[in-house]
Amino acid sequence: MITSNLSAGLERLGELIANASAIVPFTGAGISTECGIPDFRSPTGMWARHRPIPFDEFVASREARDEAWRRRFAMDEAFAKARPGRGHRALATLHRAGKVPAVITQNIDNLHQASGIGAEYVVELHGNTTYARCIGCDKTYELQWVRERFEADGSAPDCTACKAPVKTATISFGQAMPDAAMRRAAELARAADLFLVVGSSLVVWPAAGFPLMASEAGARLAIINNEPTDQDSVADLVIHHDIGEVLGPFVGN
Ligand code: NAD
């Protein structure tokens, strides 16, 4: 069923949730837009303003690194102010109820953890932008440390231990996916009885392979997104509507 009717969608989603015992949410930037963090591909998204900086360019060019950090600092206030939205809180409610073993997310904003889901139950496919990491030796850094040096020198700092570039702890285009997170996501997808895609355009691969993997392994597939995705035709339920309104009724205490 594909619907943009809220009450029809909610009725069917309620049934799917009630009948499921292993719901695996797969979230994208759309779950966080109501929290003030723009997505990538909407007309108001980040790519309307900036071309993404691929990993090899970040590694090769100090100018690219400086530009990447300038963009990150420009987003500081939005990330710092953001609080979990209705979608995050609904998924946290289902997690507390024992229905959601873990959340798979493409997001880098830390809002699932902020909603009360323990970090060990949040599988981050594209890393986390709330801290930084050396791309050579993996040493982690606070963003504040990077910012102070950037402001003092006008340029992004290198690692104090191995001198390699320091980058937000995110996965850029062209950068290797994190093995452990990819393995865990695959296990979750195969064990799910309901796979719930929330706010993803499903165009970023290999992440976009997980809904199909879950569906092929026998899970029901539900997609909540305000525009169509390439995987709507294989889903059991597609709700084309605002995520906060769809998941708001599932927020509990
Ligand atoms: P995307 O920008 O490609 O897709 C987001 C989808 O959500 C779009 O189809 C959009 O129409 C929809 N959407 C936006 N707000 C919505 C709302 N309120 N209700 C319903 N639908 C809504 O994002 P993606 O699929 O996550 O892939 C892009 C990559 O962007 C990810 O890999 C992620 O790493 C990164 N990203 C993350 C954040 C974040 O952490 N919050 C923000 C921007 C981009």
Q: What digits encode the pLDDT tens for the residues 198-228?
A: 999 999 999 999 999 999 999 999 999 999 9
Query: 41 CA to middle of ligand 1, Å?
Result: 7
User: Please, which pLDDT band fits residue 141 given cuts at 50, 70 and 90?
Assistant: very high
Write the pLDDT tens digit of every residue in 146-156: 999 999 998 99
pLDDT value, residue 50: 78
Mean pLDDT, rounded, of the chain = 95
Mean per-residue pLDDT, 63-76: 94
What residue's CA is closest to ligand 1, atom 16?
Answer: 30
Structural domains of the chain, with CATH: 1-37+84-125+177-253 (3.40.50.1220), 38-81+127-170 (3.30.1600.10)
* Residue 181: closest CA among 112, 129, 118, 121: 121
> What positions carry a catalytic annotation?
126
Per-residue pLDDT band for 176 (boundaries 50, 70, 90) equals very high
Cα R_g (the chain), whole angstroms: 19
Q: How far apart are CA 150 and CA 210, in angstroms?
A: 38
Q: Which of 40-44, 62-66, 88-92, 172-176 has the lowest mean pLDDT?
A: 40-44
Assess whether pLDDT exceeds 80 at residue 1: yes
Ligand 1 centroid, distance to 225 Cα (angstroms): 9
CB 100 within 8 A of CB 17: no
Evaluate if residue 168 carries a pLDDT over 70. yes
Q: Is 34 in the pocket of ligand 1 (CB under 6 A)?
A: yes
pLDDT score at 41: 72
pLDDT score recorded for residue 46: 63
Question: Can you tell me the mean pLDDT for 241-245?
Answer: 98
Rounded CA-CA distance 72/168 in Å is: 8
